[in-house]
Structure 1
Amino acid sequence: MALKATIYKANLQIADMDRNVYGDHGVTIARHPSETDERMMIRLLAFALNVPADNDNGALDFAKDLWDTDEPALWQKDLTDQIVQWIDVGQPDEKRMMRASPRAERVAVYAFSASSPIWWNGVATKITRAENLKVWLIPAEQSQALAALAQRTMQLQVTIQDGHVWIGDGADSVEITPQPLYGAA
Protein backbone atom coordinates (compact mmCIF):
# COMPACT_ATOMS: atom_id res chain seq x y z
CA MET A 1 0.00 0.00 0.00
CA ALA A 2 1.40 3.37 -1.03
CA LEU A 3 1.90 6.04 1.57
CA LYS A 4 -0.27 9.13 1.22
CA ALA A 5 0.69 12.77 1.36
CA THR A 6 0.52 14.64 4.64
CA ILE A 7 -1.46 17.86 4.46
CA TYR A 8 -0.01 21.05 5.91
CA LYS A 9 -1.79 24.39 6.07
CA ALA A 10 -0.07 27.74 6.29
CA ASN A 11 -1.32 31.28 6.55
CA LEU A 12 1.38 33.57 5.21
CA GLN A 13 1.30 37.27 5.98
CA ILE A 14 3.66 38.60 3.33
CA ALA A 15 5.23 42.06 3.28
CA ASP A 16 7.61 42.11 0.31
CA MET A 17 9.04 45.61 0.24
CA ASP A 18 11.42 44.75 -2.60
CA ARG A 19 8.53 44.05 -5.01
CA ASN A 20 5.74 46.03 -3.28
CA VAL A 21 3.69 42.88 -2.75
CA TYR A 22 1.61 42.67 0.42
CA GLY A 23 -1.12 40.29 1.49
CA ASP A 24 -2.35 37.27 3.37
CA HIS A 25 -2.21 33.92 1.62
CA GLY A 26 -3.75 30.73 2.91
CA VAL A 27 -2.01 27.76 1.32
CA THR A 28 -2.44 24.01 1.56
CA ILE A 29 0.68 21.93 0.99
CA ALA A 30 0.59 18.24 0.19
CA ARG A 31 3.85 16.88 1.55
CA HIS A 32 5.07 13.80 -0.32
CA PRO A 33 6.07 10.88 1.98
CA SER A 34 9.71 11.22 0.83
CA GLU A 35 9.82 14.99 1.32
CA THR A 36 11.59 16.51 4.33
CA ASP A 37 10.41 19.46 6.43
CA GLU A 38 13.36 21.39 5.00
CA ARG A 39 12.30 20.90 1.37
CA MET A 40 8.66 21.65 2.14
CA MET A 41 9.60 24.89 3.87
CA ILE A 42 11.82 25.89 0.93
CA ARG A 43 8.76 25.44 -1.30
CA LEU A 44 6.88 27.75 1.06
CA LEU A 45 9.76 30.26 0.93
CA ALA A 46 9.76 30.11 -2.89
CA PHE A 47 6.02 30.81 -2.82
CA ALA A 48 6.54 33.90 -0.64
CA LEU A 49 9.37 35.17 -2.84
CA ASN A 50 7.42 34.77 -6.09
CA VAL A 51 3.73 35.23 -5.33
CA PRO A 52 2.29 37.85 -7.70
CA ALA A 53 0.67 41.03 -6.40
CA ASP A 54 -2.62 39.94 -7.99
CA ASN A 55 -3.98 36.97 -9.91
CA ASP A 56 -4.69 38.91 -13.13
CA ASN A 57 -1.99 36.87 -14.88
CA GLY A 58 -2.81 33.61 -13.03
CA ALA A 59 -2.17 32.40 -9.51
CA LEU A 60 1.04 30.84 -8.20
CA ASP A 61 0.23 27.24 -7.27
CA PHE A 62 2.01 24.29 -5.73
CA ALA A 63 2.52 21.62 -8.39
CA LYS A 64 3.14 17.87 -8.21
CA ASP A 65 6.90 17.75 -8.77
CA LEU A 66 7.54 14.67 -6.64
CA TRP A 67 4.53 12.84 -8.11
CA ASP A 68 4.91 14.01 -11.71
CA THR A 69 8.37 14.71 -13.16
CA ASP A 70 6.86 16.98 -15.83
CA GLU A 71 5.80 19.50 -13.19
CA PRO A 72 7.87 21.87 -11.05
CA ALA A 73 7.52 22.51 -7.32
CA LEU A 74 5.45 25.64 -8.05
CA TRP A 75 4.12 27.27 -11.15
CA GLN A 76 2.05 30.16 -12.31
CA LYS A 77 -0.09 29.68 -15.39
CA ASP A 78 -1.93 32.48 -17.11
CA LEU A 79 -5.57 32.26 -18.18
CA THR A 80 -4.57 30.60 -21.48
CA ASP A 81 -2.69 27.86 -19.57
CA GLN A 82 0.73 29.19 -20.63
CA ILE A 83 3.40 28.87 -17.92
CA VAL A 84 4.46 32.27 -16.59
CA GLN A 85 6.71 30.99 -13.79
CA TRP A 86 8.35 27.57 -13.33
CA ILE A 87 9.94 27.18 -9.90
CA ASP A 88 12.03 24.18 -8.83
CA VAL A 89 13.60 23.52 -5.44
CA GLY A 90 16.59 21.32 -4.74
CA GLN A 91 19.18 20.31 -7.28
CA PRO A 92 17.58 19.64 -10.67
CA ASP A 93 19.87 18.42 -13.42
CA GLU A 94 20.78 20.71 -16.31
CA LYS A 95 18.47 18.85 -18.70
CA ARG A 96 15.44 19.63 -16.54
CA MET A 97 16.38 23.32 -16.30
CA MET A 98 17.02 23.57 -20.04
CA ARG A 99 13.70 21.78 -20.77
CA ALA A 100 11.83 24.22 -18.50
CA SER A 101 13.41 27.34 -20.00
CA PRO A 102 11.47 27.48 -23.31
CA ARG A 103 8.25 26.32 -21.62
CA ALA A 104 7.97 29.31 -19.25
CA GLU A 105 8.51 33.05 -19.27
CA ARG A 106 10.61 32.80 -16.08
CA VAL A 107 12.36 29.84 -14.46
CA ALA A 108 13.78 29.89 -10.93
CA VAL A 109 15.65 27.28 -8.91
CA TYR A 110 16.15 27.41 -5.14
CA ALA A 111 18.98 25.08 -4.08
CA PHE A 112 19.31 24.55 -0.34
CA SER A 113 21.40 21.63 0.90
CA ALA A 114 25.02 21.52 2.04
CA SER A 115 25.90 19.69 -1.20
CA SER A 116 24.50 22.48 -3.40
CA PRO A 117 27.91 24.04 -4.19
CA ILE A 118 29.08 20.69 -5.57
CA TRP A 119 25.89 20.36 -7.64
CA TRP A 120 26.30 23.94 -8.90
CA ASN A 121 29.88 23.32 -10.03
CA GLY A 122 28.58 20.43 -12.14
CA VAL A 123 25.75 22.29 -13.88
CA ALA A 124 26.83 25.95 -14.04
CA THR A 125 28.51 25.77 -17.44
CA LYS A 126 25.72 23.66 -18.98
CA ILE A 127 22.85 26.14 -18.56
CA THR A 128 24.30 29.31 -20.08
CA ARG A 129 21.77 29.31 -22.96
CA ALA A 130 18.84 29.66 -20.53
CA GLU A 131 18.39 33.44 -20.48
CA ASN A 132 15.20 33.36 -18.41
CA LEU A 133 16.71 31.21 -15.63
CA LYS A 134 17.61 32.41 -12.14
CA VAL A 135 19.33 30.13 -9.63
CA TRP A 136 19.45 30.93 -5.92
CA LEU A 137 21.30 29.24 -3.07
CA ILE A 138 19.72 29.15 0.38
CA PRO A 139 22.57 28.49 2.84
CA ALA A 140 22.13 25.09 4.49
CA GLU A 141 22.14 26.43 8.05
CA GLN A 142 19.37 28.88 7.13
CA SER A 143 17.23 26.25 5.40
CA GLN A 144 17.62 23.92 8.40
CA ALA A 145 16.57 26.73 10.76
CA LEU A 146 13.54 27.33 8.51
CA ALA A 147 12.66 23.62 8.72
CA ALA A 148 12.41 23.97 12.50
CA LEU A 149 9.36 26.22 11.98
CA ALA A 150 7.39 23.45 10.22
CA GLN A 151 4.09 22.46 11.82
CA ARG A 152 0.90 20.94 10.43
CA THR A 153 -0.82 24.32 10.87
CA MET A 154 1.34 27.43 10.56
CA GLN A 155 0.80 31.15 11.00
CA LEU A 156 3.89 32.77 9.46
CA GLN A 157 4.87 36.39 9.01
CA VAL A 158 7.20 36.91 6.05
CA THR A 159 9.07 40.18 5.59
CA ILE A 160 11.28 40.71 2.55
CA GLN A 161 13.53 43.75 2.30
CA ASP A 162 16.82 44.44 0.51
CA GLY A 163 17.21 40.78 -0.46
CA HIS A 164 16.79 39.52 3.12
CA VAL A 165 13.84 37.41 4.25
CA TRP A 166 12.60 37.18 7.83
CA ILE A 167 10.11 34.44 8.62
CA GLY A 168 8.55 34.18 12.05
CA ASP A 169 5.78 32.25 13.73
CA GLY A 170 5.27 34.52 16.73
CA ALA A 171 7.70 32.56 18.92
CA ASP A 172 10.73 32.06 16.67
CA SER A 173 12.18 33.91 13.72
CA VAL A 174 14.62 32.93 10.97
CA GLU A 175 16.60 35.24 8.68
CA ILE A 176 17.28 33.95 5.20
CA THR A 177 19.54 35.58 2.62
CA PRO A 178 19.14 33.91 -0.78
CA GLN A 179 22.44 34.08 -2.64
CA PRO A 180 22.26 34.59 -6.42
CA LEU A 181 24.17 31.96 -8.39
CA TYR A 182 22.93 32.63 -11.92
CA GLY A 183 20.86 35.27 -13.69
CA ALA A 184 19.77 36.90 -10.45
CA ALA A 185 22.13 39.83 -10.07
Structure 2
Amino acid sequence: MALKSTIFRATLNVSDLDRGYYAEHVLTIARHPSETDERMMVRILAFALHADENLQFGRGISSDDEPALWLKDDTGRILKWIEVGLPDERLLRRAAGRADEVVVVAYGGRTVEVWWQKDAATFAKLSNLAVWSLTPDESRALAALAERGMALTCTIQDGQVWFSAGETTLAITPNCLSDA
Protein backbone atom coordinates (compact mmCIF):
# COMPACT_ATOMS: atom_id res chain seq x y z
CA MET A 1 0.00 0.00 0.00
CA ALA A 2 1.37 3.41 -0.97
CA LEU A 3 1.99 6.00 1.69
CA LYS A 4 -0.18 9.09 1.52
CA SER A 5 0.96 12.69 1.56
CA THR A 6 0.84 14.59 4.85
CA ILE A 7 -1.26 17.74 4.69
CA PHE A 8 0.09 20.95 6.18
CA ARG A 9 -1.83 24.22 6.40
CA ALA A 10 -0.25 27.64 6.55
CA THR A 11 -1.44 31.19 6.69
CA LEU A 12 1.28 33.19 4.98
CA ASN A 13 1.37 36.98 5.21
CA VAL A 14 3.65 38.45 2.56
CA SER A 15 4.94 42.02 2.59
CA ASP A 16 7.19 42.36 -0.44
CA LEU A 17 8.41 45.95 -0.38
CA ASP A 18 10.59 45.34 -3.45
CA ARG A 19 7.56 44.47 -5.62
CA GLY A 20 4.91 46.43 -3.71
CA TYR A 21 2.99 43.21 -3.04
CA TYR A 22 1.07 42.76 0.22
CA ALA A 23 -1.31 39.84 0.76
CA GLU A 24 -2.35 36.99 3.00
CA HIS A 25 -2.40 33.51 1.48
CA VAL A 26 -4.06 30.47 3.03
CA LEU A 27 -2.01 27.52 1.80
CA THR A 28 -2.65 23.79 1.84
CA ILE A 29 0.60 21.94 1.27
CA ALA A 30 0.73 18.23 0.53
CA ARG A 31 4.09 16.88 1.65
CA HIS A 32 4.98 13.75 -0.31
CA PRO A 33 6.19 10.87 1.93
CA SER A 34 9.70 11.19 0.45
CA GLU A 35 9.79 14.98 0.90
CA THR A 36 11.61 16.48 3.88
CA ASP A 37 10.46 19.37 6.05
CA GLU A 38 13.40 21.30 4.61
CA ARG A 39 12.20 20.94 1.01
CA MET A 40 8.60 21.73 1.95
CA MET A 41 9.62 24.89 3.79
CA VAL A 42 11.84 25.98 0.88
CA ARG A 43 8.75 25.57 -1.34
CA ILE A 44 6.85 27.88 1.02
CA LEU A 45 9.73 30.38 0.93
CA ALA A 46 9.70 30.20 -2.89
CA PHE A 47 5.96 30.89 -2.76
CA ALA A 48 6.56 33.95 -0.58
CA LEU A 49 9.34 35.26 -2.86
CA HIS A 50 7.08 35.04 -5.93
CA ALA A 51 3.69 35.44 -4.27
CA ASP A 52 0.78 36.15 -6.56
CA GLU A 53 -2.92 35.40 -6.25
CA ASN A 54 -2.58 32.91 -9.15
CA LEU A 55 0.60 31.15 -7.96
CA GLN A 56 -0.07 27.45 -7.31
CA PHE A 57 1.79 24.45 -5.96
CA GLY A 58 2.41 21.77 -8.56
CA ARG A 59 2.39 18.05 -7.88
CA GLY A 60 6.15 18.45 -7.40
CA ILE A 61 8.13 15.31 -6.50
CA SER A 62 5.43 12.97 -7.80
CA SER A 63 5.39 14.51 -11.29
CA ASP A 64 7.99 15.37 -13.92
CA ASP A 65 5.43 17.44 -15.85
CA GLU A 66 4.83 20.00 -13.11
CA PRO A 67 7.16 22.19 -11.08
CA ALA A 68 7.14 22.78 -7.35
CA LEU A 69 5.20 26.00 -8.08
CA TRP A 70 3.88 27.71 -11.15
CA LEU A 71 2.10 30.84 -12.22
CA LYS A 72 -0.23 30.65 -15.20
CA ASP A 73 -2.30 33.33 -16.89
CA ASP A 74 -6.01 32.93 -17.67
CA THR A 75 -5.23 31.21 -20.99
CA GLY A 76 -3.06 28.54 -19.32
CA ARG A 77 0.23 30.02 -20.54
CA ILE A 78 2.97 29.37 -17.98
CA LEU A 79 4.36 32.69 -16.84
CA LYS A 80 6.66 31.33 -14.12
CA TRP A 81 7.96 27.81 -13.49
CA ILE A 82 9.58 27.49 -10.05
CA GLU A 83 11.69 24.53 -8.89
CA VAL A 84 13.34 23.95 -5.52
CA GLY A 85 16.39 21.83 -4.82
CA LEU A 86 18.79 20.75 -7.55
CA PRO A 87 16.70 19.92 -10.64
CA ASP A 88 18.14 18.08 -13.61
CA GLU A 89 19.38 20.34 -16.43
CA ARG A 90 17.11 18.51 -18.93
CA LEU A 91 14.09 19.43 -16.82
CA LEU A 92 15.20 23.07 -16.73
CA ARG A 93 15.74 23.15 -20.52
CA ARG A 94 12.25 21.72 -21.03
CA ALA A 95 10.79 24.21 -18.53
CA ALA A 96 12.61 27.11 -20.23
CA GLY A 97 10.88 26.16 -23.48
CA ARG A 98 7.45 26.02 -21.84
CA ALA A 99 7.51 29.03 -19.48
CA ASP A 100 8.26 32.73 -19.81
CA GLU A 101 10.48 32.56 -16.72
CA VAL A 102 12.10 29.66 -14.85
CA VAL A 103 13.30 30.09 -11.28
CA VAL A 104 15.28 27.66 -9.12
CA VAL A 105 15.65 28.06 -5.38
CA ALA A 106 18.58 25.74 -4.72
CA TYR A 107 19.59 24.40 -1.32
CA GLY A 108 21.82 21.62 -0.10
CA GLY A 109 25.14 23.14 0.93
CA ARG A 110 28.22 22.00 -0.99
CA THR A 111 26.08 19.99 -3.41
CA VAL A 112 24.66 23.26 -4.78
CA GLU A 113 28.14 24.33 -5.87
CA VAL A 114 28.81 20.95 -7.50
CA TRP A 115 25.41 20.98 -9.28
CA TRP A 116 25.95 24.55 -10.47
CA GLN A 117 29.47 23.95 -11.80
CA LYS A 118 28.46 20.72 -13.56
CA ASP A 119 25.79 22.40 -15.70
CA ALA A 120 26.78 26.10 -15.64
CA ALA A 121 27.42 26.20 -19.41
CA THR A 122 23.94 24.82 -20.15
CA PHE A 123 22.32 27.14 -17.61
CA ALA A 124 24.04 30.16 -19.19
CA LYS A 125 22.26 29.41 -22.48
CA LEU A 126 18.83 29.64 -20.83
CA SER A 127 18.10 33.36 -20.96
CA ASN A 128 14.88 32.99 -18.95
CA LEU A 129 16.48 31.07 -16.05
CA ALA A 130 17.13 32.61 -12.62
CA VAL A 131 18.91 30.56 -9.96
CA TRP A 132 19.04 31.50 -6.28
CA SER A 133 20.70 29.53 -3.52
CA LEU A 134 20.24 29.26 0.22
CA THR A 135 22.92 28.41 2.75
CA PRO A 136 22.57 25.15 4.68
CA ASP A 137 21.93 27.12 7.87
CA GLU A 138 19.08 29.04 6.20
CA SER A 139 17.32 25.97 4.81
CA ARG A 140 17.74 23.98 8.06
CA ALA A 141 16.38 26.93 10.08
CA LEU A 142 13.35 27.02 7.77
CA ALA A 143 12.82 23.28 8.30
CA ALA A 144 12.72 23.84 12.05
CA LEU A 145 9.63 26.04 11.58
CA ALA A 146 7.56 23.23 10.02
CA GLU A 147 4.33 22.38 11.80
CA ARG A 148 1.04 20.90 10.59
CA GLY A 149 -0.64 24.26 11.19
CA MET A 150 1.55 27.33 10.63
CA ALA A 151 1.11 31.09 10.85
CA LEU A 152 3.98 32.57 8.85
CA THR A 153 5.05 36.10 8.00
CA CYS A 154 7.48 37.01 5.25
CA THR A 155 8.88 40.49 4.71
CA ILE A 156 11.10 41.16 1.70
CA GLN A 157 13.12 44.34 1.22
CA ASP A 158 16.26 45.03 -0.82
CA GLY A 159 16.78 41.32 -1.46
CA GLN A 160 16.73 40.52 2.27
CA VAL A 161 14.03 38.17 3.55
CA TRP A 162 12.69 38.01 7.10
CA PHE A 163 10.67 34.86 7.64
CA SER A 164 8.79 34.50 10.93
CA ALA A 165 6.76 31.91 12.79
CA GLY A 166 5.68 32.70 16.33
CA GLU A 167 8.62 34.14 18.27
CA THR A 168 11.20 32.97 15.70
CA THR A 169 12.42 35.29 12.95
CA LEU A 170 14.95 34.17 10.37
CA ALA A 171 17.05 36.50 8.23
CA ILE A 172 17.55 34.91 4.82
CA THR A 173 19.61 36.35 1.98
CA PRO A 174 19.17 34.29 -1.18
CA ASN A 175 22.37 34.31 -3.26
CA CYS A 176 21.86 35.01 -6.97
CA LEU A 177 23.78 32.50 -9.12
CA SER A 178 22.04 33.52 -12.34
CA ASP A 179 19.40 36.13 -13.11
CA ALA A 180 16.96 35.94 -16.01
Does the Cα contact within 8 Å between 2:14 and 2:51 map onto a contact in 1?
Answer: no
Give the Å deviation of 1:169.
1.1
Give the Å deviation of 1:170.
2.1
> Could you say which residue in structure 2 is the equivalent of 1:35?
35
| TM-score, with structure 2 as normaliser | 0.97
The share of aligned pairs that are identical, in percent, is 50
Match 1:161 to one of 154, 157, 164? 157
> Could you say which residue in structure 2 is the equivalent of 1:96?
91
| TM-score, with structure 1 as normaliser | 0.94
> Could you say which residue in structure 2 is the equivalent of 1:49?
49
Gaps of 5+ in 2: none
Q: Secondary structure at the match of 1:127?
A: helix
Amino acid at match of 1:162: D
Q: Which runs of 4+ in 1 moved over 3 A?
A: none
Give the Å deviation of 1:127.
1.8
Amino acid at match of 1:177: T
State the alpha-carbon separation in 2 of the partners of residues 27 and 65 from structure 1: 15
> Could you say which residue in structure 2 is the equivalent of 1:149?
145
Q: What is the aligned length? A: 179
> Could you say which residue in structure 1 is the equivalent of 2:10?
10
State the alpha-carbon separation in 2 of the partners of residues 71 and 155 from structure 1: 27
Match 2:130 to one of 120, 123, 134? 134
State the alpha-carbon separation in 1 of the partners of residues 17 and 166 from structure 2: 20
Does residue 72 of the first structure (1) align with residue 57 of the second (2)?
Answer: no
State the alpha-carbon separation in 2 of the partners of residues 183 and 13 from structure 1: 26
> Could you say which residue in structure 1 is the equivalent of 2:20?
20
Does the Cα contact within 8 Å between 1:93 and 1:123 map onto a contact in 2?
Answer: no
Give the Å deviation of 1:152.
0.3
